[in-house]
Amino acid sequence: MLSLKKKERLSSKKTIELLFKKGHSFTEHPFKLIWVETPLITKFPIQICISIPKKTIKRTVNRNLLNRRTKEAYRQNKSIIYDYFDPKKIQLAIMFIYQSNNILDYNDIKNKIIVILPRLIKEYEKRN
């Protein structure tokens, strides 16, 4: 459960386009979260994509650092949403977009992910 398999990463261009066309979103600084319900393709209920725009973080080294920190924070806390979506056989595509100009340390990112994941469940329940 504490791994992040390739099938859990969102790489389908069609699904990413669907995210931006029909996805729902909310912002929890420094992240904007966009999500959409998708047909169950894989055995994993959640597929994620992490985006650190070049416009906000100029140096590639720093973007990679933030990407690794975000991925690790999600990986360690994904059971929060897996416990909700897995029994219901619902699959979501999620994109985390980093929006701050500052490079946050791992603990700050982890705390934000812990706040974002239960909020995602609430937002999903509100829509359905």
How confident is the model over 73-111, as pLDDT tens digits? 999 999 999 999 999 888 999 999 999 999 999 999 999
Confidence check: pLDDT of 121 > 70 = yes
- CB 35, CB 120: distance < 8 Å: yes
Confidence check: pLDDT of 48 > 90 = yes
Stated pTM of the model? 0.93
Q: Which CATH architecture has domain 6-127?
A: 2-Layer Sandwich (3.30)
In the sheet where 46-51 sits, what is the strand order?
Answer: 24-28, 31-38, 91-98, 46-51
Q: Where are the domains of the chain?
A: 6-127
Cα 76 to its chain centre, rounded Å, is 13
- Confidence at 118, pLDDT banded by 50, 70, 90: very high
Confidence check: pLDDT of 1 > 80 = no
Q: Between these two residues, 128 and 53, which has the higher pLDDT value?
A: 53
In 7-91, alpha helices (H): 13-22, 60-77, 79-85
Cα 107 to its chain centre, rounded Å, is 17
* Angstrom distance (rounded) from CA 8 to CA 128: 23
**What's the average model confidence in pLDDT over 22-50?**
93
∠ Cα 99 127 3 (to 5°):
55
